């Protein structure tokens, strides 16, 4: 099945079709497309055809107009200024009445991005998202559309949110991956002038690592390096805390009685160039 998807996507790419155009026309053969275990309960054909393009050919669809587009909010404001709010709103309402929910979502998208406080446009677009969601066999698409409708009506829900960066998850990471996880939080612009090196000894797993930050990039590799400004030792649970919460390093060092050699202030310098993520951000209004 996946070879069929892959080969048909590239066949159409070689005929000049874009990812979206290809996704609209490929159909699964009944021999396996109608098997219940091949239905769209996790992912879907439309999604996977476009994913093949992305994997094999990159993000660009080949249309020169999309290689360096305006930012969505800027585009939306210009689009709204050109056509007018009332006309866009009327077009979106008519599209919903006609059951043309995909068009309704796209045309109202400009109003919502141009003015995220436009409650009438948001309510109308939420209606379109809701109906399109109800039509989906693909569970991810359904969840995405219904969540969009909920956000438009009620804003960002923070209560009961789930984080994947739990203690269990972090402790299950290989140590190299844990350093990569820390590197994602490094603010490259803030860290352009930072130059520090820290040795870590994970005593419970018998691994030594060195981490350095230079030119706005965090790197790490096994073994200690001479010339590190700080060496710190302890179990993985403690050093994970030091690495991922360096602003609290002094308390973690005291709590676990971690041996250190060198300048503990390097951890505060490290903390100063890390971002704290707030995952409760807008999706459908900005």
Are 199 and 225 spatial neighbours (Cβ–Cβ below 8 Å)? yes
Helix axes 236-244, 175-184, angle to 10 degrees: 20
Helix axes 101-114, 119-134, angle to 10 degrees: 150
* pLDDT of the residue at 109: 96
* pLDDT of the residue at 36: 83
Using CA atoms of 11, 16, 22, 26 in order, give the dihedral in degrees to the nearest 10: -40
| Count of Cβ atoms closer than 10 Å to residue 93 Cβ | 17
Are 260 and 246 spatial neighbours (Cβ–Cβ below 8 Å)? no
* pLDDT of the residue at 41: 82
- Cα separation, 181 vs 173, in Å, equals 9
Torsion sign across C-alpha atoms 139, 141, 145, 148: positive
Instruction: Residue count of the chain, please give it.
Output: 286
- Cα separation, 125 vs 119, in Å, equals 10
* pLDDT of the residue at 12: 97
- Below-70 pLDDT ranges, the chain: 160-164
List the structure tokens of 119: 């409650």
* pLDDT of the residue at 160: 64
Are 53 and 13 spatial neighbours (Cβ–Cβ below 8 Å)? yes
Report the predicted TM-score, pTM, of the whole model to 2 decimal places: 0.85
CA angle (114 as vertex; 112, 115 as ends), nearest 5: 65
Render 185-197 in DSSP notation, one character per residue: TB-TTGGGG-EEE
- Cα separation, 89 vs 24, in Å, equals 27
pLDDT in tens, 221-255: 999 999 999 999 999 999 999 999 999 999 999 99
* pLDDT of the residue at 171: 87
* pLDDT of the residue at 164: 67
* pLDDT of the residue at 38: 83
Which pairs count as long-range contacts for 19-26, CB under 8 Å and 24+ apart, including other chains?
19/49, 19/50, 19/53, 19/54, 19/61, 20/50, 20/61, 22/49, 22/50, 22/53, 23/47, 23/49, 23/50
Q: What is the DSSP letter of 221?
A: E
- Cα separation, 61 vs 16, in Å, equals 10
The three state secondary structure string of 46-102 is HHHHHHHHHHHHCCCCCCHHHCCCCCHHHHHHHHHHHHCHHHHHHHHHHHHHCCCHH
- Distance from CA of residue 48 to its chain's centroid? 18
């Amino acid at each position: 099945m996946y070879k069929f998807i892959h080969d048909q996507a590239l066949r159409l790419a070689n005929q000049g079709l874009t990812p979206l155009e290809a996704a609209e026309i490929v159909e699964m053969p009944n021999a396996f497309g109608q098997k219940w275990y091949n239905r769209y309960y996790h992912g879907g054909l439309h999604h996977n055809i476009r994913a093949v393009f992305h994997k094999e050919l990159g993000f660009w669809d080949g249309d020169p107009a999309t290689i360096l587009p305006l930012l969505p909010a800027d585009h939306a404001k210009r689009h709204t200024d050109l056509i007018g709010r009332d006309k866009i709103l009327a077009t979106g309402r008519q599209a919903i009445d006609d059951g043309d929910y995909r068009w309704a979502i796209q045309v109202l998208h400009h109003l919502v991005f141009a003015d995220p406080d436009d409650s009438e446009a948001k309510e109308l677009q939420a209606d379109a998202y809701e109906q399109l969601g109800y039509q989906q066999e693909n569970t991810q698409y359904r969840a995405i559309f219904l969540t969009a409708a909920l956000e438009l009506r009620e804003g960002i829900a923070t209560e009961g949110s789930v984080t994947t960066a739990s203690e269990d998850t972090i402790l299950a990471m290989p140590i190299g991956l844990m350093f990569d996880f820390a590197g994602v939080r490094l603010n490259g612009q803030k860290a352009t002038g930072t130059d520090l090196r820290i040795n870590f000894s994970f005593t419970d797993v018998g691994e030594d690592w060195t981490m350095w930050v230079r030119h706005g990039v965090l790197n790490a590799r096994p073994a200690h390096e001479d010339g590190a400004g700080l060496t710190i030792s302890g179990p993985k649970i403690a050093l994970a805390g030091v690495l991922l919460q360096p602003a609290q390093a002094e308390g973690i060092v005291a709590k676990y009685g971690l041996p250190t050699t060198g300048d503990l202030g390097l951890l505060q310098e490290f903390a100063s160039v890390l971002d704290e993520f707030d995952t409760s951000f807008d999706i459908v209004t900005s």
